[in-house]
Amino acid sequence: MTNQKQPQHSFSDQVLSWYDIHARTLPWRSKPGVRPTPYHVWLSEIMLQQTTVATVGPYFEKFLQAWPTVGHMAAAPLDDILTAWAGLGYYARARNLHKCAISVQRDFAGIFPQTRDELLSLPGIGPYTAAAISSIAFDQPEAVVDGNIERILARIYRITEPLPGAKKTITKRAEELTPSTRAGDYAQALMDIGATICTPRNPKCEACPISGSCAANEKLDMETFPVKAPKKIKPTRRAFILWLETDDGSVLLRRRDEKGLLGGMMEFPSTSWQAEEVTTEEALARFSDHLSADASFLEKDMVRHTFTHFHLHLRPLQLPVSKEMFADMPNIIWVKPENFSNYALPTLMTKVVKSVQQGQGNLL
């Protein structure tokens, strides 16, 4: 771009004019002309990281009911946050959400900071979210770059460099195009366009307010962009997972380590997740200290689950046990299935619950 004065109908003007007519109404958005609540903007932006609008909706409402202000959230136990977050995924977000609430309450007197740099210093807030909060909640002229905007700019300029390497180039373009006022509306407009018009496949260019500025639309090779680096294939890991049930109907749950995969969430105990097949006998031997030698058990339907970088096959084993034999196992609790909703069970574990509770299973 040049340093000349923008024409009257600049790119951002076209985008904003479209937004004034076509903006989607979303739970975290304010009415036109009204400043949104920074706490709502922050909460929604954290939830929306790598997560679709439809998925976030119910969680956003539930969190606002439970914690109306950042002060309420800062005062809550982390486990309550994790339980409410269960099913939404990327659980480090929930842990950082809690850390961030505590920091805002303690270091900023419960008032969210307005600048990009101050927001960047808070847990769970990276380059995208800092710019989004600063522009949407405080009308600061920050350039927002999410996956939608990356795709739109890559098409407009037909950027042939593959992501993620092209990120710097795209950010530079975004900064050139971002208006000095209404940067938040401009960003939300582009994200709406990306979600509903400039989609990854079958983009609806005839409905796009900026197709006239789009080099890819001119050459009719929209789906070529953005170019992305090839992805690694996902290996498969396997394990047995144990549904250990006492005669009063309680089932053993264990809390995972705070760090790493499903950090801080509850699980049923399992053998180690590994590529190699394991026999049922070896799996039970792994827990021999806690099981009687002649224990009978049911083998339930396999649970399939895919994480970001591997597939997982879990084979549930349902066994009758006594609590006494697990007295020395750390981080465990006994819970009746009707109370599972009060615990931080990730979706993988709810799949295990369904497998155990349906069908007969094979008696072995």
Partner DNA sequence: AAGTCGGGGTG
Partner DNA sequence: CACCCAGACTT
Contact 311, 226 (CB under 8 A): no
Report in angstroms how near the CB of residue 181 gets to DNA at its nearest: 19
| Secondary element (H or E) of residue 212 | none
Backbone φ/ψ region at 217: left (φ over 0), alpha (ψ -120 to 50), beta: alpha
Q: Is 359 in the site for DNA (CB under 7 A)?
A: no
Tell me whether residue 209 or residue 326 sits nearer to DNA (CB atom): 209
Interacting residue with DNA among 13, 14, 22, 26 (CB under 7 A): 26
- Taking alpha carbons only, the member of 56, 54, 55, 34 closest to residue 45 is 56
Report in angstroms how near the CB of residue 295 gets to DNA at its nearest: 29
- Taking alpha carbons only, the member of 347, 197, 194, 175 closest to residue 261 is 347
Interacting residue with DNA among 58, 126, 249, 359 (CB under 7 A): 126
Tell me whether residue 131 or residue 284 sits nearer to DNA (CB atom): 131
Catalytic, 61? Answer no
* Lookup: tokens for 116: 């990009």
Q: Is 263 in the site for DNA (CB under 7 A)?
A: yes
Question: How many residues lie near DNA (CB under 7 A)?
Answer: 63
Report in angstroms how near the CB of residue 321 gets to DNA at its nearest: 26
Task: Scan residues 79-108 and list those touching DNA (CB under 7 A).
Answer: 87-92, 96
Cα dihedral: 16, 20, 22, 24 (round 10): 100
- Taking alpha carbons only, the member of 272, 249, 285, 269 closest to residue 326 is 269
C-alpha triplet 268, 271, 276: angle, nearest 5°: 140
Report in angstroms how near the CB of residue 69 gets to DNA at its nearest: 20
CA–CA dist 2, 225 (Å, integer): 25
Binding track over 130-169 against DNA, x by CB under 7 A: x-x-------------xxx-xx------------xx----
In the three-class reduction of DSSP (H, G, I as helix; E, B as strand; rest coil), residue 256 is classed as coil
Q: Is 191 in the site for DNA (CB under 7 A)?
A: yes
- The residues that are catalytic are 45
Which residues contribute to the site for DNA (CB under 7 A)?
26, 28-29, 44-45, 48-55, 87-92, 96, 123-130, 132, 146-148, 150-151, 164-165, 188, 191-192, 194-195, 200-202, 228-229, 231-234, 260-263, 305-309, 311, 346-348
